[in-house]
Amino acid sequence: MPEFDAVVVGAGPAGSAAALVLARAGRSVALVERGPFPGAKNMYGGVVYGRILDALVPQWWEEVPFERWVTRRATMVLTGTQSLTIDFRTQSWGTPPYNGCTTFRSEFDHWLAGKAVDAGATLITSTTATSLLRDGRGHIAGVRTDRDDGDLNGRVVIACDGVNSFLAKEAGLYHHPGAEHVTLGAKEVLALPREEIERRFGLTGDEGADFEIIGCTGDVPGGGFVYTNRDTVAVGVVLHLPALAASRKRPEQFIADLKAHPSIAPLLSGGELKEYSAHLIPEGGYDAMPELVTDGMLVAGDAAGLCLAAGIWLEGVNFAIGSGAAAGRAAAAALRRGDTSAGGLAQYRRDLERSFVLKDHKKLRRAPGFVLNPRTQQAYPKMACDLVEQLFTVRNPEPKAGGLRAAWRELRRSDVRVRDAARDAWTALRTYG
Amino acid sequence: MATVDFRVAETAHITVDGDQCRGCTTRACVTACPADLFVPTSDGGILFNYEQCFECGTCYLVCNTEGAITWRYPEGGFGVVFRRA
């Protein structure tokens, strides 16, 4: 029966970061992946923000399998026929050390797992961890897999088994399981000639664009996105799972509606569908997270609910890497002391509380509720678009209305109560201010 | 599609208890499954296939009938494989 210092389940960004840190600390690590290669099961609609990699892989940008470096970041508010966009561009994100890149997870995750293997981790692919093993004291002491004689013993287990984390649930660490804190991300990847993408999005060379969209999912709270890859464009939606289930409108239809919007359609027209795929996203934030530590086990990445879905900030891979690396450090320290009980592993939570991982989540703990509430989803986008339309519609011989007066009129015209608007403004200020 | 392969396992990783589905009024899985794997039948049941599953977990999370959908990860090495598009 193989015996490792640590068994890491899931070779996504969290698991590979954990395995990398443990292997560099001289520990024997099994990195268990159920796909035929790391990244095979993983997709996202997003950007990898690389600063967290600086400490793990110096000069990572010289070797990471990226598609484009994001130099243009647009935040869009849509109604059925209007759009209002804050369109930011900076050339500094297009030069080292860069800010973020688009990439395919099948390639990025594979690359990061390779770093763990280079450092000495044992990658075991095509192997599903089916349950936890416990020692005589009841401490977690490894995992059972679906291989014959497939028990993997380890003095510490790090569960990086994704948003469904059956291991964290089996360990009883989830107090809010279920659909309430989960969104479904569904996306299409459309092929367009490279020069056509660069023309439509105003890019040159390796520059990339990232559009985040709110107000495009009707009665189902969520959002949309458009990202440029080298010679494909990803377009997709994120949908609050319970509302989607009740909506009787299928995910593909939300994507089709977004693609048909007059502000989006010209960006994508003629694109040839190369891929349609979907994944769940743990969006509940700080207040929906499971416990992160138990006797013999740590939880990191999506398994720990660490995706940041805070409206203007949508991040996940960096939180996975940050938490995975912290789990690796805590496990290495606990192994060194010979105490992998919950107490011996408690450094993990303390480390995360001191790092961006839980600092950002704590600061933005009200963001998921704020972003998904119906006013933010539909009423405010409409008010904002109508207000701008009022300001820029020339009504001669009528004189212009002042901006504040027009804003007040839009608020009164909407069915939003002033009290709710004031409370939302206060929440927004406390959250984002 | 070329960039999403499915290596189909012999045993299904999703099981559906048809008797429980017949009384279901929400049909949440039919709406929400992004791969459109759940199809209502004329007799009030649900037809499903597991072969082209993205393994997201939506179906078991939205199902409001305890035990109607049983879902686990496919056998290691099988199921969906995403590649660079």
What CATH number should be reported for the domain holding residue B36?
Answer: 3.30.70.20
Distance of alpha carbon B48 from alpha carbon A79, whole angstroms: 36
| For chain A, domain boundaries | 3-65+104-176+287-365, 182-282, 373-432
Show the low-confidence residues of chain A (pLDDT under 70): 1-2
Quick: pLDDT tens for B6-63. Answer: 999 999 999 999 888 988 989 999 999 999 999 998 888 889 999 999 999 999 999 9
Q: H-helix or E-strand containing A24? A: helix A13-24
Distance of alpha carbon A43 from alpha carbon A167, whole angstroms: 21
**Which residue among B1, B56, B73 places its CB closest to the CB of A34?**
B73
A244, A245, A248, A249: CA torsion to nearest 10: 30
A-B Cβ pairs (cutoff 8 Å, strict): 121
Q: H-helix or E-strand containing A256? A: helix A251-260
Cis before residue A397, ω within 30 degrees of 0? yes
Quick: pLDDT tens for A281-292. Answer: 999 999 999 999
Q: At what angle do helices A13-24 and A317-337 cross, to 10 degrees?
A: 30
Interface contact B82, partner A, CB < 8 A: yes
The pLDDT of residue A338? 97
The pLDDT of residue B67? 83
How sure is the predictor about B2, in pLDDT bands with cuts at 50, 70 and 90?
Answer: low
The answer to whether the Cβ–Cβ distance between A163 and B57 falls below 8 Å is yes
The pLDDT of residue A46? 87
- Residue A141: phi and psi, rounded to 5, are -140, 25
Q: Which residues of B touch A147 (CB under 8 A)?
A: 76
Quick: pLDDT tens for A399-414. Answer: 988 888 888 888 899 9
The answer to whether the Cβ–Cβ distance between B1 and A186 falls below 8 Å is no
Interface contact B44, partner A, CB < 8 A: no
What ipTM was estimated for this complex? 0.96
The number of folded domains in chain B is: 1
Full domain range(s) for residue B73: 4-82
The pLDDT of residue A178? 84
- Residue A272: phi and psi, rounded to 5, are -95, 125
Query: Chain B: residue nearest A281 by CA?
Result: B56
Architecture of domain A3-65+104-176+287-365: 3-Layer(bba) Sandwich (3.50)
The pLDDT of residue A160? 98
Chain position carrying tokens 């960039």: B3
Distance of alpha carbon A184 from alpha carbon A178, whole angstroms: 13
How sure is the predictor about B1, in pLDDT bands with cuts at 50, 70 and 90?
Answer: low
Q: Which residues of B touch A166 (CB under 8 A)?
A: 72-73
**Residue burial A172-187, b: 16+ Cβ < 10 Å; e: rest:** ebbeebebebbbbbbb
The answer to whether the Cβ–Cβ distance between B1 and A273 falls below 8 Å is yes
CB distance B54 to B34 below 8 Å: yes
The answer to whether the Cβ–Cβ distance between B36 and A241 falls below 8 Å is no
Q: Is the CATH code 3.30.9.90 the one for domain A182-282?
A: yes
The SS3 of residue A210 is: strand
The pLDDT of residue A284? 94
Query: Chain B: residue nearest A147 by CA?
Result: B76
The pLDDT of residue B64? 83
Interface contact B22, partner A, CB < 8 A: no
